[in-house]
Structure 1
Amino acid sequence: MTDLNAFIAGLPKAELHVHHVGSASPRIVAELAARHAGSTTVPADPAALADYFTFSDFAHFIEIYQAVVALIRTTDDLHLLTYEIARDLAAQQVRYVELQVTPYTHHLAGISPEQVCEVIEDVRAKAATEFGLEMRWIFDIPGEYGAPAADLTLHAATGVRPDGLVAFGLGGPEIGQPRGFYQSWFDQAIAAGLHSAPHAGESTGAPTIWDAINLLKAERIGHGTHCMEDPKLVDFLAEKQIPLEVSPTSNVRTRVVDSYETHPLPRMVEAGLRVTINSDDPPMFGTTLTNEYAVAARLLDLDEAGLAALAKAAVDASFAPEAVKKRIGGEIDGYLSSTATSSPEPTGTSVE
């Protein structure tokens, strides 16, 4: 049997829940902090960022996240960030990503939605040709900014609308931000042909997930960590097979769950829920998508076939065109076949 870590490193993957600014590597964060030295609290030393990215709770994480967001002040900053994210993802054998972009926070820095779209579309073209990476966008409302953020995000999504945009989202803190408040904006985005992919049930309970489904018409749930609190919700999610974008290390680092050992992922799978594995804000949480697959392998006792099935689950749950899904699914199958060994009794289990 092959080494699972080596298998995961080479496994073609799709990433469905990862934030744009939250994907900035320590090297890029430090470079941006140095560019804006004297006007930021973010360290310009990559080695100091590990301590800086140690969060006392979810509110503290949001505070630090906003400090990093504030480093993106020009279109050059934005291009550097987006291009390097593409490079880092491709190095992990990510073939397809739906990157969550927040036009409103860039607007606050003086970068218009039109400029944001121009920059990210330029990188999308480069990523396809240089890295073999298909990039798509989810424009998300930062909930902490309320209606003005929703208005601008909707304009960016339906008025400017870059070619790579596939979905409309809602991020930021859940406490004090009821999902139903954003219903009218989601209704308009959905009417314009966009998919619905809000965060829900990360730092709040099952009622937030119900609201995301019933009021925002969620087709996927960002996190859904606390869904297991409500048996009726679990039954509904299992019946409808609404995908949950699970990010184990994120949940541990933001103190949403106490530890990996208490993470609900195994219970989600046992209940028949449709899960995908994602990295959320990987450098801030000291992780990568590759590492999240290793975490999932341990929590779920997966073998190579189980890991390949998990990778295909993300492809299938994506908003990619069917031709792209078929191509990447074929790559995963081919990779599994190429790494198969003569071991007659592989250990671990599969997730189908």
Structure 2
Amino acid sequence: MPSAGLSKEGYVETVLKCIADSNNAPNSSMTTGLILSIDRRNDVDTAIAVVDLAVQYRDQGVVGIDLCGDPCVGDVSIFEPAFTKAKANNLPITIHFAEAPFSSTEVELRKLLEYQPDRIGHVINVPADIKEEIVKRKLGLELCLSCNVHAKMITGSYGDHHFGWWKDTGCPITLCTDDVGVFGSTVSMEYALIAEHFDLDRKEICELARSGIDTIFASEKVKQKLRETMWSS
């Protein structure tokens, strides 16, 4: 959250300036975008304000919006006006989805799917019928092995992770760290863990890494650069 002396606009502008400096640095090979988050603890007016900020700064590096926060609080149905506005403005949407048993009721998950997310994260406690809908839509999945294991969000260890179920569904998968500073695992380490515990060879790892390109919240130019780079590797 911004400090008392800094407005939300000022906070976003400060972060975007740092991102621009990094993206424009000599020999920079990484392109970074900013996703603004709606917290489950927010009220609807605050959520709409987040969408308005995302629209306002879209041309300066904001690439989409997220729904996140403590999965044990909040009523996600109140955010419908915010997500409707996001869709009307063609803002990509990602949502923390079925992260905990409390936030994995049929009512909540179907409401979140009504918001037409482009990606969903965690997807841990997903009932069979909701899984079918996700696979039907071929939604992008953000999977976080180390986070889920170390935070004991799943039963068992790496080899028990639900990646094993999702990997053959055709849904684009992006491996995420969520959060490298806390869980001590880089994205490269996440791929190494997947390869080790699910017996994936180099070809399968490369295919996995490429599968999420189309669900990246970025311009077609950035996506094409990634395709060219990764297909030549």
Give the shorter-chain TM-score range: 0.7 to 0.9
Greater relative contact order (CA < 8 Å, ≥ 6 in sequence): 1
Q: 1:298 to 1:193 in 2, by over 3 A?
A: same
Q: 1:104-123 counterparts in 2 under 5 A?
A: 105-106=1-2, 108-123=3-18
- The root-mean-square deviation of aligned C-alpha atoms, in Å, is 2.0
Q: 1:201 is matched with which residue? A: 98
Alignment of 1:129-278 (within 5 A): 129-130=24-25, 131-147=28-44, 149-161=46-58, 163-204=60-101, 205=104, 207=106, 208-214=108-114, 216-227=115-126, 230-258=127-155, 259-278=157-176
- Per the TM alignment, residue 118 of structure 1 is displaced from its structure 2 partner at its CA by 2.1
Counterparts of 2:229 and 2:84 in 1: how far apart (Å)? 36
1:247: how far off? 0.5
Residue 202 (structure 1) shift: 0.9
> What 5-or-longer segments of structure 1 have no aligned partner?
1-104, 336-352
Take 2:39 and 2:57, find their aligned partners in 1: how far apart are those partners? Answer: 18
Query: Structure 2 CA distance, aligned partners of 1:318 and 1:269?
Result: 18
Partner of 1:77: none
One-letter amino acid of the counterpart of residue 232, structure 2? G
User: Can you give the 5+ residue segments of structure 2 that lack an aligned partner in the other structure?
Assistant: none
Aligned length: 227
CA distance in 1, matches of 2:66, 2:191: 24
Q: Would you identify which runs of 4 or more consecutive aligned residues in structure 1 move more than 6 Å?
A: none
Distance 1:160 1:319 in 2: 14
Identical residues among aligned pairs (%): 24
Contact 1:234 1:271 in 2 (8 A): no
Change (3 A) 1:326 1:282: same
CA distance in 2: counterparts of 1:255 and 1:149, whole angstroms? 31
Counterpart contact for 1:221–1:244, Cα < 8 Å: yes
Which amino acid in structure 1 is aligned with residue 18 of structure 2?
V
1:312 and 2:207 are equivalent in the alignment: no
The Cα offsets for residues 98-118 of structure 1, whole Å up to 9 and x where unpaired, read as xxxxxxx11x54321221232
2:21 to 109, 113, 126: 126
Change (3 A) 1:134 1:160: closer
Q: How far off its partner does 1:317 sit? A: 1.6
2:178 equivalent to 1:283: no
Cα offset, 1:242, TM superposition: 0.5
Show the counterpart of 2:225.
327
Deviation at 1:244, TM superposition (A): 1.1
Rg comparison, structure with higher value = 1
Letter in 2 for 1:127: S
For 1:312 and 1:242, locate their aligned partners in 2 and report how far apart those are by CA, in whole Å: 15
Task: State the Cα deviation string for residues 252-282 of structure 1 (Å, max 9, x = none).
Answer: 1222113223211101113443322111111
Instruction: Report if the CA contact (8 A) 1:117-1:161 is conserved.
Output: no
Determine if contact 1:179/1:212 at 8 Å carries over to the other structure.
Answer: yes
